[in-house]
Structure 1
Amino acid sequence: MRNVRVIILAVLSLAIILVSMPAWAANVTIGQYATVLNNDEMGFRLEAPPNVSDKPLLVKAEAADSSKIVPVDGIYVTRAVQVSMVNNAAGWTASSLAKPARMVFTFNDIDYQRASNMDAGQPVGRFRIGYWDESKKDWVQLPSHVFWNGSNGVVEAETDHASGRYALLWSYKEDAQISSVVPEGIRIMVDLVPIKSDVAPYVKDDRTMVPLRVIAENLGARVDWIGSENRIDLVRNLEKVSLWVGKTEAKKGQQSMFMDVAPEVVNERTFVPLRFVSEAFGAKVTWDEITQTAKVFKNQ
C-alpha cells in the first residue's frame, strides 16, 4: 500500500511539473564557439557566432502567448519568445553581448495571407523583428531581412541586445519602415559569419560549388597549385587534402576519397564542392532551403 502511495505522489508531482512548464522551451550555452538554439515549434532560432560573450551564457527561450500581447502603435505581434541569457557561475543576467547574435523567426503561408489581407502590396516587407523595451513600453524594431519562397518565410535580424522578449512583428502603419526582401542567391556562412566573395557560388548536380580560395582561407588552409598536374593541395597544419581539376578522386594524406562533383575552372576561377572540402577538414555543413544558406561549422 505504501508503494502505491509513493507512486501516486510521484505521478502527481510529475503532472504539476509538466503543467508548470511552458508550452515550448529550448536552451543552449553560447560563448566561445558558434552555437545555434533552434525550436521549430516556437518558429524561433538564435544563431550565435564565436565569442559573442566573454563568459559562457546559458540561453533559455520560452514561447510567449502572442494572442495576449496587445498591439502597440500599429504593431501586431505574430509570435514571441522570452529569452534569458545567464552566466550561472557568477549568477548574473546578460543585458548585452560582446558581438551581435542573429535572431531568426519563421512564418508560413497562413501568416502571409493574414498580412496580405491588411496590405496586398507589401505583405512580406512589413515583417520585422523587435524586442520589448519595458522603460519605453514599446518595441525596438531591428533592421530585418526577409526571405520568402512562396509558401514559407524567414526573418533575420542581428542585435547585441541579450535577455528580453523578442517578437516577429508586422506593422500596418502607412509610414512603417519596410524590411529588405532578400533576392534569390546562395549564401555561405562559416561559424555563422557570412563570408564575402567577389564571385557568386552556384549549384551543380545538387552540390554547392564555391571559389576555392574563399573557402580554403575561411577554413584556415593554405592553397598550393601544382600546375603541371592540375592539382590543388590544401594544407592546414599537418593535414593535406589534394584535389585535381576535372577529377572526382581526391586524397587526404595517402587515403583516397571521392566527390560527387569534380573541381572545375569557371571564368579563370577554380570552384570546389563546399561540403566535400569542409568535411575533409572535419567541419560540419548544414543547408537552409528557405534562405538558400550553406552553414559551415568548424568546431563540430
Structure 2
Amino acid sequence: MMDLVANYGKGLKLPTYHETRVTFLKKEVENMHFTLDKYKNEWKKIGCTLMSDGWTDNRERSITNFLVNSPKGTVFLKSIDTSDISKNAENLFQLLDSLVQEIGEKNVVQVVTDSASAYVLAGEKLMEKRRKIFWNPRVAHCIDLMLHDIGDLPVHANTIKKAKKITVFIYRHILVLDLMRKYTKGRELARQGVTRFATAYFTLKSIYQQKIRLRSMFASEEWAKSPYAKKSDVINVQLIVLSDPKFWPTIKFCLKCVIPLVKVLRLVDGDAKLAMGYIYEAMDRAKEQIRKNFNDAQRRYGPILRIIETR
C-alpha cells in the first residue's frame, strides 16, 4: 500500500474518517465474504478439516482459534475464550459440535484438536453423534506428550537434569560462555526444538556432539585459572562432564530412544508438504528404528514403545 501511495506522488486525496470506517470497511467485508464463498464451495465438493489451536494471552486467558483446512488452503473461522470450558469434556463436545453444525456436517471430514484428555473424550462423543466424522489428535502435540512421558522415565529425567545444570551454569556466566564458544568454535549447547519437550532432547544431542570439546574446556589451563574453577557449585558441573561414569552413556541411550520420534515431529511440523498421507508409516518406521537402536532387546525399548502406543 505504501508503495502505491509513493508512486501516486503529490496530490493524493486521503479517504475521510467516514469513508474508512463505513464505505471501505463494507467493501473489504464484501471481498472477504466473496473469497470465503470460494472456500465454502470447495468444502461442499470434497470436504474439509476443522482444526483447533490453543494459546494463552497476556491476561492468562485460554484462547482457542478454530480454522478450516482444505486443499485450497486454511481459513480462520473464529477465536473463542475457552478458559471456563477447556478442561470439561462435555462443554468441549458441545463447542465442537456447534462448529461442525456451523460449517455443515456433510462438509466436515475430520476434526483435529490437541490430545489432552478432555479433548479425547470430546472427540469420542463427537464421533458417536456424527458417525461420518473422524476425530484425530494434533500430531505435533501428541508426539510432544510422548517425549514428555519418556522424559519422566528415571534415566531420562536424571540425564536431562544433569544436562540442564551444565547449560544453566554456562549460559549464566558470560566469561564461561565465551570460553565454551571458543572451544566449540561457536557452536551452541542450548538448542530450540519445535516443541517444549523436544528442546530438552535437542540440547542433549548438542551436548553429546560437543563432548570432546566440553571435556577439553574443563580440563584446560584456562579453566583452571578462571575465577569459577574452585567454586563448590561449579565443581559439581565439572565432575558431571569429566568424571560422571553414567552421564555420557545415558545421553547416548536417551537419544536412541527419542531421535526417531523427533524426526517424525520435524516432518509433521514443517510446511514443505502435508503429512497426513504418510504419518502412520512414519510412526511405524520410527518404532522400528527404536527397536533396531537397541538390537531388538525388548527390555530396553519396551517402555518406550508402550508410551508411544498409549499416547
With structure 1 as the length reference, what TM-score do the two structures score? 0.26
Structure 1 or 2: larger strand share?
A: 1
Which structure has the larger Rg? Answer: 2
Question: Relative CO higher for 1 or 2, CA cutoff 8 Å, sep ≥ 6?
Answer: 1
Bigger helix share: 2
